[in-house]
């Protein structure tokens, strides 16, 4: 089989094959081991570039076999590692449609449907999170690019404060851009600052303790020393190790007083805004200048998806606008979402976002967030009830930080013990989460965001950890 046109007739059969496989896979995902015990066979998918193609059905069958062996069941309810959602039924099906229709979400001419849906999706997300309607917004590949987008707008604002159009002139001749943050700052925000030419070394972290909690006094002191010179404050709503929040209202006050742009990374923590029981955690979010959030985490749309929101649409547009003769000029009242983010050709991510919000609405998301917060608290209580486990932080939202701490093991040996136990958890595969270092201690940090997750899944965390800990071979001397 060579030219794909010869394979035209196989298209329907390919789609049927994959639909049947996807149905079977997803039917089993609730109970499956998160990581199958057999590592993927590279032999089956590797080798030299085929000179002659095998045909679509044959290629797909090989891919399906490889997926059986090598895909983590991350769409399932017991993948608590990192912070990973699944795809709600509406979002997943809409994602299939996205591929089938293959729209490019560049501008109106490329796809009126994609533009319309993105406009609505961004508006609905603003309503979901309580962000002002006048802000601009754009869908991104995730929170890293959402942070990049918000911080790019911040950089533009900062340049204009110095009388320089950074997108036009570049950064040379400008002073270093001060970025101030707490210890909760996520590595993706630092990565975005590096990509923006602001530089990792410009980031000053004001942490009150080893958990990264903001030292607000020290931050205020540093801002005073800037004497009104423009700066970026980078806040985190929902940090990865224990779900901690920076005090957004207090940081918004400081930003206002000291001529700073407040960017908030709310990759998953912005969902606290969805429920009255947790909304207080993001009080002040509407006073930020830019906000990033993920779609493939708590919104439970398939990878990849995020969103960035900026309080000043003009600054936002100025940071990303680009055109060329062949791309045409859009009428002013038609959105051009490629002018609000780093990508030009873009996947129509709005299909999934729109479909899931239309399907489940504000009430559905509130119910899911509250269920997950309840499950996290339940897990915290179970940990508290086990003498050999130690909870390391409060549970403000959906991440639970804890470690194994048997009475007879000295403190100095606990990090290594928990690391080994972490490997055992991943190898076991019934529940799935890794270790981190929190407050200077090696700790577990299961994060609950998957729409499928129920009590039974969460209860398995404590019983599995204790069972595996009891079976752990003694440490080598
Ligand atoms: C707080 C926070 N910010 C940013 C990110 C980066 O998100 P993504 O991997 O979707 O780019 C994450 C991912 O875990 C996160 O938890």
What are the CA-CA distances from residue 26 to residues 175, 365, 469 (Å)?
53, 21, 31
Q: How confident is the model at residue 475 (pLDDT cuts 50, 70, 90)?
A: confident
In the predicted model, is pLDDT for residue 321 greater than 80?
yes
User: How remote is the CA of residue 143 from the centroid of ligand 1, in Å?
Assistant: 5
Q: How high is the pLDDT of residue 212?
A: 98
Residue nearest to atom 12 of ligand 1 (CA): 267
Q: Which of 144, 243, 295 to mutate to test the pocket of ligand 1 (most atoms within 8 A of CB)?
A: 144
> What CATH number should be reported for the domain whose range is 361-471?
3.90.1150.170
Residue 477 pLDDT level (bands cut at 50, 70, 90): low
pLDDT above 70 for 310: yes
Dihedral (CA of 168, 172, 176, 180) sign:
positive
Average pLDDT on 368-390 reads 98
Q: Residues 50-59: what's their mean pLDDT?
A: 94
Q: Report the residue among 79, 84, 143, 270 best suited for mutation to probe ligand 1: largest number of ligand atoms under 8 A from its CB.
A: 143
Out of 81, 82, 186, mutate this one to test ligand 1's pocket (max ligand atoms within 8 Å of CB): namely 186
Residue whose Cα lies nearest atom 4 of ligand 1: it is 143
Q: What is the DSSP secondary-structure string of 282-318?
A: GTTGGG-SEEEEESSSTT---SS-EEEEES-HHHHHH
Tokens of 349: 């991510």
Q: Which of 391, 129, 436, 407 is nearest to 273 (CA)?
A: 129
For residue 191, how far is its CA from the centre of ligand 1 (angstroms)? 11
As a whole-number percent, the residues of the chain with pLDDT over 70 amount to 98
Confidence of residue 41 (pLDDT cuts 50, 70, 90): low
- Report the pLDDT value the prediction gives residue 42, as an integer from 0 to 100: 66
Average pLDDT in the 252-256 region? 98
pLDDT at 7: 86
338 Cα to the center of ligand 1, angstroms: 22
70-74, 326-330, 377-381, 437-441: segment of lowest average pLDDT: 326-330
39 confidence band (pLDDT: 50, 70, 90) = low
| Same fold? 93-357, 361-471 | no
Is the pLDDT assigned to residue 288 strictly greater than 90?
yes
Compute, in angstroms, the gap from residue 129 CA to the centroid of ligand 1: 18
pLDDT greater than 80 at residue 333: no
Pocket of ligand 1 (CB under 6 A): 82-83, 142-144, 186, 188, 236, 238, 240, 265, 267-268, 294, 306
H helix intervals, 105-234: 112-129, 143-161, 166-169, 187-195, 216-226
pLDDT, one tens digit per residue, over 166-192 is 999 999 999 999 999 999 999 999 999
Q: Report angle CA 150, 152, 155 to the nearest 5 degrees.
A: 115
Give the residue extent of every domain in the chain: 4-73, 93-357, 361-471
Residue 43 has pLDDT above 80, yes or no: no
Confidence of residue 128 (pLDDT cuts 50, 70, 90): very high
CATH fold of 93-357, please?
A: 3.40.640
């Amino acid at each position: 089989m060579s030219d794909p046109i010869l394979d035209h007739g196989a298209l329907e059969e390919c789609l049927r094959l994959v639909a049947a496989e996807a149905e079977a896979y997803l039917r089993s995902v609730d109970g499956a081991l998160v990581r199958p015990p057999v590592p993927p066979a590279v032999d089956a998918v590797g080798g030299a570039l085929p000179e002659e193609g095998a045909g679509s059905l044959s290629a797909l069958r090989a891919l399906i076999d490889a997926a059986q062996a090598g895909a983590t069941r991350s769409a399932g309810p017991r993948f608590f590692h990192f912070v990973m959602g699944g795809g709600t039924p509406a979002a997943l099906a809409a994602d299939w449609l996205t591929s089938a229709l293959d729209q490019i979400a560049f501008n109106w001419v490329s796809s009126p449907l994609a533009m319309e849906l993105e406009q609505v999706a961004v508006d609905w997300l603003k309503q979901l999170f309580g962000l002002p309607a006048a802000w601009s917004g754009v869908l991104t590949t995730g929170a890293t690019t959402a942070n990049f987008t918000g911080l790019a707008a911040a950089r533009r604002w900062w340049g204009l404060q110095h009388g320089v159009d950074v997108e036009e002139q570049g950064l040379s001749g400008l002073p270093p851009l001060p970025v101030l943050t707490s210890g909760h700052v996520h590595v993706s925000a630092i990565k975005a600052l590096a990509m923006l030419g602001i530089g990792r070394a410009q980031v000053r972290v004001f942490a009150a303790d080893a958990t990264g909690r903001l030292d607000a006094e020290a931050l205020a002191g540093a801002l005073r020393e800037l004497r009104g010179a423009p700066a970026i404050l980078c806040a985190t709503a929902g940090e990865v190790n224990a779900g901690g929040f920076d005090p957004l209202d207090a940081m918004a006050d400081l930003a206002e007083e000291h001529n700073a742009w407040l960017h908030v990374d709310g990759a998953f923590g912005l969902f606290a805004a969805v429920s009255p029981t947790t909304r207080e955690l993001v009080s002040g979010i509407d006073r930020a200048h830019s906000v990033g959030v993920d779609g493939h985490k708590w919104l439970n749309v398939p990878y990849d998806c995020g969103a960035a929101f900026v309080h000043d649409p003009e600054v936002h547009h100025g940071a990303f606008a680009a055109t060329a003769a062949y791309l045409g000029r859009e009428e002013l009242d038609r959105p051009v979402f490629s002018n609000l983010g780093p990508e030009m050709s873009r996947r129509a991510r709005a299909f999934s976002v729109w479909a899931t919000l239309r399907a489940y609405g504000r009430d559905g998301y509130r119910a899911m967030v509250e269920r997950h917060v309840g499950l996290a608290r339940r897990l915290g209580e179970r940990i508290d009830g086990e003498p050999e486990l130690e909870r390391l932080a409060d549970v403000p939202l959906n991440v639970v930080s804890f470690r194994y701490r048997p009475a007879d093991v000295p403190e100095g040996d606990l990090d290594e013990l928990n690391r080994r136990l972490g490997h055992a958890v991943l190898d076991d595969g019934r529940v799935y989460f890794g270790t981190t270092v929190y407050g200077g201690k090696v700790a577990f940090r299961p994060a609950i965001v998957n729409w499928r997750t129920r009590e039974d899944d969460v209860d398995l965390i404590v019983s599995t950890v204790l069972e595996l800990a009891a079976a752990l071979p003694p440490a080598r001397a």
